[in-house]
Amino acid sequence: MTTESRDPAPLLLLQDIADQPVVPGSAVLRMATTSSRAGIFDGAWWPRSRDIRSQLPDLIEALTASLGPIARVGLDASAWNEAPAHLVVGDRKVRIDWSAVDDSTMIITRGHHDHFAFLVIPPQASAAAAHTAMTMAVQDDNRTSAEQILDAAGITPARPGAPRRRPI
């Protein structure tokens, strides 16, 4: 009797394009370029507005091309203009889980149990500050929190003037 072992599908790593210019009005995604997943974050996302319906579909399509079908997205409700329960992207319905914790992170779920953590850069950040924060977030050995990364890059909270709430 033989036992066949099935390894999970390998992650397709995105090309590191950190040195390419930012196109005005476009969202920017940067993912770790190693499969070790040793740091806190697997990537960083810089949406260009607080309109979730215009920003999230392109992100989901880009992530689907690299990671496979995305089932859920967990976001901070205070960072967006509206909070729909789901979005239809292509031919898939993607559930959106909303949190009241202002922690500048996003959790992407592939399948039922495979989670990817992303730093979310507020849209008002300058290109230089966003680049700095994204670079810090995707370092393979990063152990720095989202709040510390944004502070180090000189980026204000998701909603300027809004107090940061810490998880209990």
For the record, the structure tokens of 93 come out as 């319905």
Close Cβ partners of 31 (under 8 Å, ≥ 6 residues apart): 13, 14, 42, 43, 66, 138
Q: What is the pTM of this model?
A: 0.76
Each residue's pLDDT, cut to its tens digit, for the chain (168 residues) gives 444 444 444 444 444 444 555 444 455 777 765 566 678 898 999 999 999 999 999 999 999 988 899 999 999 998 899 999 999 999 999 999 998 777 899 999 998 888 999 999 999 999 999 999 999 999 888 899 999 999 999 998 665 544 443 333
Angle (CA) 88-130-164 rounded to 5° is 80
Task: Kindly list the domain boundaries of the chain, sorted by start residue.
Answer: 28-153
